Each structure stands twice: as C-alpha cells, then as structure tokens.
Amino acid sequence: MASENRIIELDLLRVVAIFLVILQHSWSMLGLDSAADGMQYHFYRFAIIGVPLFVMISGSLLLRKEMPVKLFLKKRFTRILLPFVFWTTIVYVISCFLGRYDDVHNLKEALLCYVPYFFGNKINSVYWFMFMLIGLYLLTPLFQRAFSAPASRNVLKYVICLWFIWQLLCLITPEFILVRYYRFSAYLYVGYFLVGFYIIQYLPNKRLNRLLGGIGFCVTYALNVVLSMQGWKVTPIEVLEVLCLFLFFVSIDYRLPHWLQVGIVQISRYSFAIYLSHVMVIGLLYHLGIQHYLPLAVVPLVTSVVVFVFCSCYCFVLDKCRFIPNKLIGI
C-alpha cells in the first residue's frame, strides 16, 4: 500500500496499461496493424491488452461495495464527462488546423461539425473507450447490488464463465446465428470488469497467483504470436493473456523506494488525462515527421516513450496550476 490508501499494485498496473495504450495507438497510426508488416507487428500486438487492463482495474475498485445509485452516477460521470469534453475539444481544434477532417475547411464548418463528430466518435476513433466506459458505469450499480455480497460468488463465476464462452463463440464461429444476433455483448468488456473484481475479492493466495499468472502469461503470449502468424488478428486465448497478466501484477508484493511509489501514484492519477490527450501528441509527432528519422521498427516504441514522458510532465504542470480545476482535466 502507498500513501493515501492507494493500492500500489493497481497504480503500477494502471501506469503499465496507459503506456500500452500509447504504444498501441503509436503503431496503429503508423499503419502497422496487420501481420503482413512483419515481426514488429508480433511484438507490438501485445499492446492491445492495455484497454482490457484498464477495465479490470475499474471493476476491481468499483464493485467492492454497494453505493447509492444517484451518488455513484453523480461521482463517476462528473469525473469522466468534463475531461472528456475538454480534451476532445482541444484534439478537435488541433485536428482542424492540421486538416485531418475532409468535411472541415473553415471556422463555420468546424463549428457545425463539432457536435455530430463528438457523438459519432469521429473526432478520433480512440474515444470509443469513453462510450464503452459510460455503458459500464450505467451497469455498475446493478453489478454492485448483484455481486458485492460474498453469497453471490457462485453467480458471479457463472456470469464470467458465460462471458468467456461467448467470447470464444464470437471469435471461432462468428456466423452462428445467436452470435450474430448478440454480437454486441462480446465487445462490452463486461467480463473484464467482473473478472477484475473477482480476482481481487476471491483469489487471496498471492504466491499461487504469481505462479499461475506468470507462467500463464508467457504461454498465452507465445501462443498468441503463433496464432497471429497464422492469420488471426484477434485470437481466442487473448482473453487469457490479459487475465494472467492482471493476476500476476496484483499478486506481487512490491517493496519499492518511497520516491518511486510517489511517482507511480502520480502517473496513475494522471492516466485518465493522458488517455484523453495522448493522441494529440502522437499526431503532432507524426505530423512533424518523426517516422522519417528513425528505423520503422522502432518508431512506435520511441514515439510511445516520448509521448508518455511528455504527457506525464504536462499533466504534472496542469496539476500544479491552481486556476485550472483538476476535475476539468481529469486528474
């Protein structure tokens, strides 16, 4: 545990998750999004687990105890909606200046397109995460009532198993009529949300968890690389890869220097603001031509490190600015 009742395991995992999200978007914006791009794809594909890790962290924290519905929704939506509007507006303005939108050529068109672009997720496709998160928050009071009591453990296991089976069906037999009809359920990330809570709440044996999580992640990652080389863009065992990594990270007894814990906690606090704003920095770097000065294989990694450090620094500066409310920027 770090200061202020922070859970250092989850803070560190959140830092890892935001870096993976930045890495994923760095290589996807460069166009390295298929196995045809060679071994760098099989290295960078690991980054796609960043968002599921975020969802598992949220589930592990939000489902522990039941809260009044009105209080929960007010607290959570105040925390996410203001920063969402703030950062997407900045990204939209910068994108307009850079000529990223075919429908926007002047100030009038920019003003007219803002609302439909915002609600149509056309400002930047990475903001799909926010609409998924809103859906999860709307369902959270129901999950809290249904699963927070110890007596509901078996029901929770049943729901998680059902979700996992459904994920496999959606990947293996996408043309099956029931899968086509209920396809949306595979992409709601509900299972990750519930599994994160289950691991924290009901799997206390950290030594066993470290062993299973560490070995399980190595095996599933290797199998995923093999399957992706056979043409799978999303593999059936990708879910297990995410679960194993989460299980491993939250089971380690971290004995870190105080200064390092403080740094991890700070970046963890900034992770939401970094998520909302990092595409702006990636876009500017690629607009300036960073991809022309480095070997293609290392461009996403170098870009991600630069973006991660830069975003952390300006979030620190904004955090210290008294005239900018933290709620506005997502800190």
Q: Is the pLDDT of residue 168 over 50?
A: yes
**Does residue 215 lie within any of the structural domains?**
yes
Q: How confident is the model at residue 4 (pLDDT cuts 50, 70, 90)?
A: low
**Does residue 298 lie within any of the structural domains?**
no
Q: Over the stretch 99-117, which tens digit does the pLDDT of each residue have?
A: 888 888 888 888 888 898 9
Query: At which residue do the structure tokens 């003003």 appear?
Result: 111
**Does residue 315 lie within any of the structural domains?**
no
The three-state secondary structure class of 264 is helix
pLDDT at res. 291: 77
Question: Count H helices, E strands: the chain?
Answer: 14, 0
| Distance from the first to the final alpha carbon of the chain | 20
Estimate the share of the chain in helix, then strand, then coil, as percent rounded to the nearest 5. 80, 0, 20
Helix H or strand E segment including 279: helix 258-288
Q: Is the pLDDT of residue 181 over 70?
A: no
What one-letter code names the amino acid at 93?
V
pTM of the model: 0.86
Domain of residue 199: give its range.
Answer: 30-257
* CA 199/CA 265 separation, integer angstroms: 22
8 Å CB contact between 283 and 98: yes
**Does residue 265 lie within any of the structural domains?**
no
Q: Is the pLDDT of residue 200 over 80?
A: yes
Tokens (6 digits) for 101: 């939108």
Chain centroid to Cα 193, Å, comes to 12
Tokens (6 digits) for 81: 């909606």
Q: Is the pLDDT of residue 35 over 60?
A: no
Q: Of the given ranges (4-18, 170-184, 197-211), which has the lowest mean pLDDT?
A: 170-184
**Does residue 39 lie within any of the structural domains?**
yes
pLDDT at res. 24: 87
Q: Is the pLDDT of residue 282 over 70?
A: yes
* CA 298/CA 303 separation, integer angstroms: 8
Closest of 305, 312, 303 to residue 29, by C-alpha: 303
- Rounded to 10°, the helix 50-62/238-249 angle is 50
Q: Of the given ranges (4-8, 56-60, 172-176, 197-201), which has the lowest mean pLDDT?
A: 172-176
- 321: how many CB neighbours lie within 10 A of its CB? 10
Q: Is the pLDDT of residue 237 over 80?
A: no
Q: For 203-216, what is the mean pLDDT?
A: 87
**Does residue 243 lie within any of the structural domains?**
yes
Average per-residue pLDDT in the chain? 82
Better pLDDT: 174 or 77: 77
Q: Of the given ranges (18-22, 30-34, 85-89, 104-108), which has the lowest mean pLDDT?
A: 30-34
Distances (CA, A) of 325 to 73, 78, 79, 170, 273: 20, 12, 12, 43, 13
Structurally, how many domains does the chain consist of?
Answer: 1
Q: How confident is the model at residue 54 (pLDDT cuts 50, 70, 90)?
A: very high
Closest of 321, 331, 314 to residue 278, by C-alpha: 314
**Does residue 125 lie within any of the structural domains?**
yes
8 Å CB contact between 96 and 88: no
**Does residue 45 lie within any of the structural domains?**
yes
Q: Is the pLDDT of residue 224 over 50?
A: yes
Q: Of the given ranges (203-212, 217-226, 229-238), which has the lowest mean pLDDT?
A: 229-238
Helix H or strand E segment including 195: helix 190-202
